[in-house]
Amino acid sequence: MALPLVKILDFGLARMTDGDVYATQVTEIGVIKGTLPYMSPDQARGNPEAIDLRADVYALGVILYEMLSGSRPYDVTKKSLVEAVRVICEHPP
């Protein structure tokens, strides 16, 4: 019996870098881009300088946690945005 094949695809959000000189940058202040329960604390805080490859590793960890336990590390579904960010940033999973 063959084991099922698991694939994780990252359709994450692109971020402009200094090399993207010909692109037009449009920002929306106060708009969250992404799925809050999978955001790293730095990403949830909205600190763009601190967001790098580690944010993707964190999101992968959330996915693995969810696969193994059947729930996400943080239940933020019924919380306000401010409370959800506080939970992600201050509470251990």
Is the sign of the CA dihedral 71, 91, 81, 58 positive or negative? negative
Residue 15, pLDDT > 90, answer no
The domain locations on the chain are 36-90
pTM: 0.69
Nearest to 55 by CA among 65, 70, 45, 67: 45
Q: What is the pLDDT of residue 12?
A: 63
Residue 91, pLDDT > 50, answer yes
% of the chain at pLDDT higher than 70: 76
- pLDDT tens digits, 30-67: 567 778 898 899 888 888 788 888 888 899 899 999 99
Q: What is the pLDDT of residue 24?
A: 47
